[in-house]
Structure 1
Amino acid sequence: MTRRFLAVVAAALAGASAALCGTPALGADAVRDKQWHLEFLDVAEAQRTSTGKGVTVAVIDSGVSDHPDLSGTVLNGTDFLERGGNGRTDRTGHGTGMAGLIAAHGGEKTGALGIAPDAKILPIRVFDKKPQKNARIGEAITYATEHGAKVINLSLGGGIDPATLSAVKAAQDADVVIIAAAGNKPEDVGITAPAFLESIVAVGAIDRSGKKAAVSVSGAALDLMAPGEDIESTGRNDGYRSGTGTSDAAAIVSGAAALLRSKYPDMTAEEVVARLESTAIDKGKPGVDADYGHGILDLVAALSDSAAPSASASPSTAPTPTRSASAAASSATEPAGSTTPFIVGGVAVVVVLGGLIAFLLARRRPGASP
């Protein structure tokens, strides 16, 4: 608890800053080939047993714009920047990119494919082209919880306030899985808020070779790693974007959580997180460590019935087929660039520290680092 507590205090004092939002990509015919993370994670095999059907994932971000690869996937959400908005306005492309990584369905071999293509996206817009001070993250989490989201994706970071702490606790009590970007260098020196909270899964990024990406931060609060370098996804104006950062990695893990929640509808949020962590591929120092957390996401292992879900978690689909040999990953690397927008919530630590300590002491996930 001491390490986690120190990480929390450091992050609360540090705040966060703005970052880049990705670059335009090629046309739809070339997109699927550029999505190297699909082969790396053996997504085709994972989707034999689950596609995320019946699960709503809230994307708290810059909004989600219309895109052919997301047709029929995006629900009407809400907009905390423009009164009466439904969350389906995105002026940066960031939120649309995260939604695509989670639930794009593309064509048979063209366009973007998400981890959970049959999941629904609930868009909640909390920032625009520039980072917003005191962004309404707590209210956004509350909205997601009250509107049926079983997974919440937070590909953003920054300060924290009592409203956010309260909303996260309420989501926890409502059996919602919350996934958040761990933070990007050089803007961040450790796991940022709200990812450092105990009931939130903090996700870092790996590169094509499976090593920790240069942009990804380290810290005791880190939980999982997933692909986060040169990640192709949906973008604005029916186009595509390529991004590097823990934003993309967090969205991929949110898709993984949707697959689990779909296949095992009786599995609790805590059990979903435990499954993702316990089946992760250990990397770095043996066991849980500050650079890789529990390890690298292993989609097929997480969905395998042999991973022994709890007695209450009965599968809603056929048993998982035997996994094929691990797909080879390219060792090519390119210069890293952050794609996680960070939102500053300037609240004095003295205001929230007492509640924060109580919140962190409330519960620890099974297998979490000491």
Structure 2
Amino acid sequence: MALLTTSTVFPVSAEPPGASTQIRAEQWHLDYLKATQAQGLSSGNGVIVAVPDTGVDPHPDLSGNLLAGTDIITGGNGDGRRDLDSHGTSMAGLIAAHGQGKIGALGIAPGAKILPIFSSPPDGNGAPESLARGIEYAIANGADIISISSVGGSSSRLRQAIRAAVGADIVVIAGVGNLPRDQTVGYPASEAGVIAVGGVDRAGLHAAISVTGPEIDVVAPAVDIYSTSYDGRYSRGTGTSSATAIVAGAAALIRSKYPYLPAREVAHRLTATAVDKGPPGRDDEYGYGVIDLVAALTADVPPLGFESVSAPAGAGPSTTAAGRRPGDDGSGATARGLVTLGVIVVAGVAWAVVARRRRRSDDPPPRISR
């Protein structure tokens, strides 16, 4: 399996942008995605994100958020908490780094836990069976989300593992691949039920490195992305790996705020609230658009099957209401959404709100829901 980010590692003592006191300012994607505002609504608490990758080195910015995992291949410490490459640690940081207050790297979901799985060697040429075993481990050990920042060949065991994860109500997210090495959307991003992630640059435009194709669901920042690395260092990477980890963090925010929301509805919230780019509606560069963290946490999104603007009144509750904990009325630290919560939302009205974000309401349902 080929890894999807090329990166540079900076020592802790390096001058900015490598120094820990400056790394936060270099994380441009946080402001771009309004991460601080989103984290006021949800931080990812209670969510476990499995990262099958090159392992995850214990970094000060991940202290307390890194669980004991496993080594699928030889060369680690036995629990996934060692990384000689930097790739896995970078992905974990983008998802769940807490940044030691304001001086270190910050992830999208700093309250989430990372389940590290060493399944890809530093050269990135792991076998599909290794990834399959990693996914099987994630299923058996309570993962709510699996973030896969690699592409490669499939096998019957890997296909079975991916489908088992989807069937177990786990949100599975994968990068689509990087040009020029990859020419089409790779596996497992091409598998139905997996959220396929492409990339955008600092201007919010299609990243030149990102593969295009009809399988793409959403996009996220993928260029000059700063995160954690091994030995307490930091890294800068470009590729759809980074975008994938960022979307995994977004899914963690949603799963934390709406713990009773099925995985397919978590994916639906991401696509339905994405900011449309390119031609109106879904397209092969941006999918349904750039993820919108705040909208994904607050918008009243009608459940799958009730997207029609002509749906009858009372057709079904929005996923905002359906995914809450019992007794949660959306007040206090929980977002109230776009309408008064606790009320059954007419699906047609709610979809009209979402349709304005996507520019048109007659798009086909997201590929991930099939």
Q: Where does residue 118 of structure 1 map in the other structure?
A: 111
The answer as to 2:360 corresponding to 1:367 is no
Q: Do residues 59 (structure 1) and 51 (structure 2) align? A: yes
Gapped regions of structure 1 (runs ≥ 5): 1-15, 324-364
Instruction: Give the Cα–Cα distance (whole angstroms) in 1 for the partners of residues 252 and 287 of structure 2.
Output: 21
Match in the other structure for 1:314? 324
- Paired residues, number: 314
Residues of 2 paired with 1:131 and 1:197: CA distance? 20
Amino acid at match of 1:368: R
SS in 2 for 1:123: strand
Q: Is the 8 A contact 1:21 1:93 kept in 2?
A: no
**Contact 2:5-2:239 within 8 A present in 1 as well:** no
When normalised by structure 2's length, the TM-score is: 0.81
Could you tell which deviates more after superposition, 106-115 or 217-226? 106-115
Equivalence map 1:99-178=2 (5 Å): 99-135=92-128, 136-178=130-172
Instruction: Provide the C-alpha distance between the structure 2 equivalents of 1:159 and 1:250, rounded to a whole number of angstroms.
Output: 18
**1:367, CA displacement in angstroms?**
2.7
Q: Where do 5+ consecutive residues of structure 2 fail to align? A: 11-17, 302-317, 339-363
Q: Decide which moves more: 253-262 or 161-170.
A: 161-170
Q: Which amino acid aligns with 2:9?
A: P
For residues 5 and 106 of structure 2, the distance between their equivalents in structure 1, rounded to whole angstroms, comes to: 23
Matched position secondary structure for 1:237: helix
Partner of 1:182: 176
Q: Which amino acid counterpart does residue 190 of structure 1 have in structure 2?
A: T
Deviation at 1:309, TM superposition (A): 1.4
Taking the aligned partners of 1:18 and 1:62, their CA distance within structure 2 comes to 9
Kept in 1: contact 2:3–2:150 (CA 8 A): no
The CA deviation string for residues 254-298 of structure 1, in whole angstroms up to 9 with x for no partner, is 000000000000000000000000000010111111111011000
Report the Cα distance in structure 2 between the residues aligned to 1:232 and 1:320, rounded to whole angstroms.
Answer: 29
Establish whether residue 210 from structure 1 lines up as the match of residue 225 from structure 2: no
1:301-327 deviation digits (Å, cap 9, x = unpaired): 00005344165311566442689xxxx
In the aligned structure 2, how far is the partner of 1:254 from the partner of 1:18?
Answer: 16
Helix, strand or coil at the partner of 2:270: helix
Write the distance in 2 (CA, Å) between the matches of 1:133 and 1:68: 28
8 Å contact from structure 2 (residues 274, 292) kept in 1: yes
% identical aligned pairs: 46
Separation in structure 2 between the aligned mates of residue 269 and residue 87 of structure 1, nearest angstrom: 25
Pair 1:90 & 2:75 matched: no
Query: Could you list the per-position Cα deviations for residues 81-100 of structure 1 after superposition, in whole angstroms to 9, with x for gaps in the alignment?
Result: 12871111101000000000
Distance across 1 between alignment mates of 2:260 and 2:3 = 39
Matching residue of 1:353: none
Quick one: distance in 2 between partners of 1:94 and 1:294?
Answer: 27
Q: Give the Cα–Cα distance (whole angstroms) in 2 for the partners of residues 309 and 238 of structure 1.
A: 40
Give the Cα–Cα distance (whole angstroms) in 1 for the partners of residues 144 and 223 of structure 2: 27
Shift of 1:105: 0.2
